[in-house]
Chain A
Amino acid sequence: MTERDPFEEKLEELVAGLERLNVDTKVKAPKQEQELQHLLEEARSMIDDLRDQRRRREDRELLERLAAEIKDSTATAHDRLTASEARLEHVEGGGPGRYAFPVNPEIQAEAVWLKAQLSGPPTDHDTPRFFKDADVQEVPDGLEVLSRAIFEAAPSYMQSADKEQ
């Protein structure tokens, strides 16, 4: 039996190691690439989310500024309208319950007098009877009606005895 050359053994070990490395490289490299791709996608997604959040925050701030400005503008318009109406009331003598044209109190008094002279008696239509003002009638129950009927039908001496008791 021939002895193995230690150098040869070393070479064979080296070849076996290279083969393992070769196998490992072939098996592990796609996995690593996949992981790398996944990590890259996550990182990009996080960047997108970050940008989206920043944009939303900016939009919200913009809306808040816009709402505040509209509120200020409305308040200003309201104040100006109030001031304008106050001036108009001062100039025209108008106000709540007043009309665009002046009413002659003499004519109003004449209207009331003439109306009173020419009107007839009040009719039923003039004074409606509301539900809320109507009397509510109490209806006696059956036992009360029966007892009253018996009492009224009873002979007078029984009623007087009842009263004495």
Chain B
Amino acid sequence: MFRQLARLFLTPPTPSSAQVHQAVEDVLALHPMQISRFLEEVWEGRSASLLTPAGLEIPPTVWPLTNERTSGIRDRVIAAGNPYPPAVWDHLIYAYMVENTRIYEVFRRVLEEFAYGERLGVASPAGQAWLRTTEALFYRDSPPLQIYAMASWIRPDIRAVRRNAYHRMFGLDLNHGTDDNRPYPYPRTAAANTDFSRTFEDVLREVWRAIENISNQSGPNATDVATIANLARALYDMLRVRRQEYGNLARDELLHVSTMAWLHLTVSYDTAIVRDLKAEATSPAERLQKIGERVGLPAHSRSSSYFSLAEHMSLLLRELELGTFNTDLGAPGLFSGGPFQAAIQETITHWSIATGRDVKARPVSVAPPQPVPVRPTPRPAMRASAATNGYAQASRETLGV
């Protein structure tokens, strides 16, 4: 969400590195009220293809409507020659993957350290602005009437709200519990896509086989398009069952994705708060690792793979939810070149790294030995009798009784 906004601040096609860095700093320096209204604008201007409930926007009869929907960001984006607002936001899988790096908990510690003491030093003005915005928007109860307001008396813990959404949509929990390594308590429901991980892995495996054979125009080709289409349909069914036609979990997704995108953008460059934390590095994972060390909460060692999975799986699942790959004609879109193939190749690589399961290897199954065919012992038509006195005795089989 905010990563997209930073891109919209730039004039295409090839901005300089300094311009990119400035655009990121500008996004992170926005006032919390602007960010809040930006999320309202995004919800208002969302694509009709997104499964979202209707009628949750601020009604046009509420006065003054313009204030609630005016973030002051539009003019800058339009001046850069880009459309506003972003029509699509990331899939919930983006939030799940980014949160697996433990970024939310690490920055929670950062906020605590700056709020309660000076062990990490004193933040620069830009750093203080970031601290204020981050705390105001993502580490406290939201204003009750905003579209992204989630926490309430019913569900007071936003972290549990997120875990609940992940569990329902993907049947997955985060790879970390509480800070003292206990399982994080959150409400679980029976209606969860517990087969998501296995099915998605099957898709990756089949698509990898297809990519291996992509150029085989003659001779054997192990690509099984029908299986890929069937697996894509299975995933589509799972996700759509959760969404239904009414866009269930869409508001949750907007908030969770925004939260993680804000933190992801923060570590994507040597931003003000990163410099204040003396965590300059060359990649988001390295910066997060350094920040984690500063606050005594190590980030996940495979954070780099999780960041990569977040971006690429978001692209894939967003499209997969539309049912694009459910047919034999649509399934080749996953492996016949273009951004989808690039995304799924990256996903295959980083999924294997993150999970430790090599999806490029052919699955080997140990089949039980085939039963040896047993020829039935022929039964005598007539049962032998000890003493028939010279006459054959009729059996039940022969009589058909």
A residues adjacent to B (C-beta < 8 A): 85, 88-89, 92, 94, 98-104, 107-108, 110-112, 114-115, 117-125, 127
Q: Of B144-152, B176-184, B210-218, B289-297, which binds chain A?
A: B210-218
Tell me if B223 and A100 are in contact (CB < 8 A). yes
Other 17 A-B pairs with CB < 8 A, given A99-B336, A102-B332, A111-B339: A99-B215, A101-B223, A101-B332, A101-B336, A102-B329, A103-B337, A104-B329, A107-B330, A107-B333, A110-B319, A110-B324, A111-B315, A112-B338, A117-B87, A119-B7, A121-B9, A123-B268
A159 to B20, CA, bound (A): 45
Separation in Å of the B134 CB from the closest CB of chain A?
18
A122 vs B333: C-alpha distance when bound (angstroms):
25
Residue interface bits B1-38, CB-to-A below 8 A is 1, else 0: 00110110110001101001001100000000000000
Asked if residues A111 and B218 are in contact (CB atoms below 8 Å), the reply is: no
Q: Which of A88, A107, A112, A124 contacts B217 (CB 8 A)?
A: A88
A112 to B341, CA, bound (A): 11
- B325's nearest neighbour on chain A, judged by CB, is A107
Are A121 and B7 in contact, with the CB atoms below 8 A?
Answer: yes
Q: Known contacts A119-B4, A120-B4, A122-B15; is A103 also within 8 Å of B311 by CB? A: no
Size category of the binding interface on chain B: 35 or more
- Neighbouring A residues of B282 by C-beta, 8 Å: 124
Top-9 shortest CB links A-B:
A120-B3, A107-B333, A115-B339, A101-B332, A111-B339, A103-B336, A94-B217, A121-B6, A121-B7
Given the complex of chains A and B, what is the CA–CA distance between A31 and B265 in angstroms? 110
Does A121 lie within 8 Å of B10, measured CB to CB? yes
Q: Which B residues are in CB contact (< 8 Å) with A127?
A: 14, 17
B92 to chain A, nearest CB (A): 13
A-B contact pairs, 10 of them (CB 8 A): A100-B213, A101-B223, A104-B333, A108-B333, A114-B315, A117-B88, A120-B7, A120-B265, A122-B20, A127-B17
Distance, CA A115 to CA B340, complexed state (A): 9
Q: Say yes or no: A125-B283 contact (C-beta < 8 A), given A99-B337, A120-B3.
A: yes
In contact, B23 and A121 (Cβ under 8 angstroms): yes
Given A110-B319, A121-B10, check contact A103 B338 (CB 8 Å). yes
Q: With A and B bound together, what is the CA distance between A153 and B86 in angstroms?
A: 60
Listed in ascending order, the chain B residues whose CB lies under 8 Å from chain A are 3-4, 6-7, 9-10, 14-15, 17, 20, 23-24, 86-88, 90, 210, 213-218, 221, 223, 225, 265, 268-269, 282-283, 311, 314-315, 318-319, 324, 329-330, 332-333, 335-340, 343
Task: For B218, give its contact among A85, A108, A115, A117 (CB under 8 Å).
Answer: A85
Q: Please, how many angstroms separate the alpha-carbon atoms of A139 and B213 in the complex?
A: 54
In whole angstroms, how far apart are the Cα atoms of A33 and B14 in the complex? 103
Inter-chain CA distance A51–B335, complex, in Å, is 68
Nearest CB on A from B262, distance (A): 12
Instruction: For the complex, give the distance between the alpha carbons of A101 and B87 in Å.
Output: 31
Q: Within the complex, what minimum Cβ distance (angstroms) separates B325 from chain A? A: 8
Chain B residues in 8 Å Cβ range of A103: 332-333, 336-338
* CA of A117 to CA of B221, assembled, Å: 34
- B23: A residues at CB distance < 8 A: 121
Q: Complex Cα distance A94/B215, Å?
A: 10
When distances are taken between beta carbons in the complex, the residues of chain B under 8 Å from A118 are 4, 88, 90, 311, 314-315, 318
CB of A105, distance to nearest CB on chain B (Å): 10
The minimal Cβ–Cβ distance linking B182 to chain A, given in whole angstroms, is: 34
B214: chain A residues within 8 A (beta carbon): 99-100
Q: Which of B269, B282, B339 has the most CB of A within 10 A?
A: B339
Q: How far is the CB of B96 from chain A (nearest CB, A)?
A: 15
List the B side residues contacting A101 at CB < 8 Å.
Answer: 210, 223, 225, 332, 335-336
- Find out whether the CB atom of A112 lies under 8 angstroms from the CB atom of B218: no
How far is B343's CA from A115's CA once the two chains are assembled, in angstroms? 9
Closest residue of B by beta carbon distance from A123: B268
- A88 vs B90: C-alpha distance when bound (angstroms): 43
CB distance from A100 to the nearest CB of B (A): 5
Q: Are B7 and A124 in contact (CB under 8 A)?
A: no
Residues of B within 8 A of A110 (CB): 319, 324
Residue among A102, A122, A127 with most chain B CB within 10 A: A122
Instruction: Closest A residue to B335 by CB, please name it.
Output: A101
Q: How far, in angstroms, from A99 to B335 measured CA to CA in the complex?
A: 10
B216 touching A100 by the CB < 8 A rule? yes
Kindly report which residue of chain A lies nearest to residue B19, judged by CB atoms: A121
Considering the complex, give the chain A residue whose CB is closest to the CB of B283.
A125
Bound form: Cα–Cα A125–B333 in Å: 27
CB distance from B222 to the nearest CB of A (A): 11
By the criterion CB–CB under 8 Å, are A121 and B3 in contact? Answer: yes
Inter-chain CA distance A94–B214, complex, in Å, is 12
How far is the CB of A115 from the nearest CB of chain B, in Å? 4
- B20's partner among A88, A94, A102, A121 (CB-CB below 8 A) is A121
Whether A104 lies near B330 (C-beta < 8 A) is yes
Most chain B Cβ neighbours within 10 Å, of A112, A117, A125: A117
What's the Cα separation between A103 and B324 when bound, in Å?
A: 13
Residues of B within 8 A of A114 (CB): 88, 315, 318-319, 339
CB distance from B1 to the nearest CB of A (A): 10
- A109 to chain B minimum Cβ distance, whole angstroms, is 9
